[in-house]
Structure 1
């Protein structure tokens, strides 16, 4: 039996639980801390019965303080387990590089140099020579980064789930493959999918809340919500707030990257 789809306008969060879903951070600790401060102010002001803050992945790369972002999230989760984090493709790429450095991998090619710098490791010294005689430099940089990254950061990144569900909402980093049940989605699609997901106009069993593909402002569609507003460069971090039937967008603006 096919599960009927649900339209964004009809979607509800779980009774008594306010949800905040924050888009891709990419090393912008300043924006993440400011967003959390705003959320804390709202929770104190409104006193919801319960709440969850859901982070949609891509904490590292490109922005200036990936290490600080992970420190912040580790502490937040330890302080209150209602702070929830999903994994993103860049987070997995970071783990992949720590395990086995690839000069053509995601980490080196798309912002890992900045991540390494946040740990005090200058991988950029060989950034223009990965395809030349940089093998020794790559090995040295990799070894230095492995030494510099706390085991707690590795354990944190390894612990992150690929998706979660609350009420009529399904949260993941990139999206889902149409026609596949939510519980059967592949990890690869949850981290990477784009066009086939974005182009699908039909309703899903739940509203898919995601990031991964930057948009100038939050994209609210009948079947999905994209809150990746390119925070590392635009200086605009975005979240979807769900409180029962009420839905709104919360933005935190700072300096451009």
Structure 2
């Protein structure tokens, strides 16, 4: 890609449409609800002709209340379809585990135990009696029973990307040199180094999460709003109103490892 793309400083949202892009939630229902309250207050105080709230994926795992996060997002979408939800690798990892309980897969290794707990299921408690593989098999059966079909349908419905104005929204990033419309879904939810290290501009400014940073990264070609909310207690978002771009943040309890 050449320097003929869009620079963040020049990027604009669609005329008359306010955009909000919320970073990785990872089970922090408290922070997600707080961010929505903040956005709703903004829209009430300074109404906009139109708006979109774009959630950048990774609703599940690691944090304490993935079930309530999914309930919240389903209700938000029912209330107003201008609430948009994109797929993250952890969200699809939950679907993968429900279909095939790999004891060493993403879900079991990176926070799925906490997700299961939010549905009232202990995936590891029987390990000392039956061994890990059998404990996971038993826990998987209980989790399949506990997860509502509406949650499965929600996870299956998630889009991989959306475009508004000069901004392309996805979970992880894009593959440099590939047209936006031809991006591989695996890259959109997993990519890191090739995307992060690309120095040139893209056809749109890429707004993403997936890779935790101490504070939002605002670069010429991309914006990263994953501030490790589940642990840091800070959930971040990018707000766009025409040419005006701002970072929003809400604070809550911190969980130290």
Q: Smaller-chain TM-score range?
A: over 0.9
Alpha carbons 1:3, 1:205 under 8 Å: kept: no
1:121-153 superposed Cα distances (whole Å, 9 cap, x missing partner) = 011315789xx9322221110000000000000
Q: 1:189 aligns with which of 173, 187, 204?
A: 187
Matched, 1:12 2:12: yes
What is the match of residue 57 of structure 2?
57
Distance 1:2 1:18 in 2: 29
Matches within 5 A, 1:63-142: 63-126=63-126, 133-142=131-140
Alpha carbons 1:26, 1:58 under 8 Å: kept: yes
1:61-120 superposed Cα distances (whole Å, 9 cap, x missing partner) = 000000000000000000000000000000000000000100110000000000000000
Residue 67 and residue 127 in structure 1: after superposition, are their counterparts in 2 closer, same or farther (change >3 A)? Answer: farther
Alpha carbons 2:3, 2:201 under 8 Å: kept: no
Distance 1:197 1:60 in 2: 24
Runs of 4+ in structure 1 over 4 Å off: 126-129
TM-score, normalised to structure 2, is 0.96
Matches within 5 A, 1:1-257: 4-126=4-126, 133-257=131-255
Partner SS for 1:152: helix
1:172-196 superposed Cα distances (whole Å, 9 cap, x missing partner) = 0000010000001001100000011
Distance 1:84 1:42 in 2: 18
TM-score, normalised to structure 1, is 0.96
Partner SS for 2:214: coil
Distance 2:38 2:241 in 1: 16
1:178-230 superposed Cα distances (whole Å, 9 cap, x missing partner) = 00000010011000000110001100000000000000000000000000000
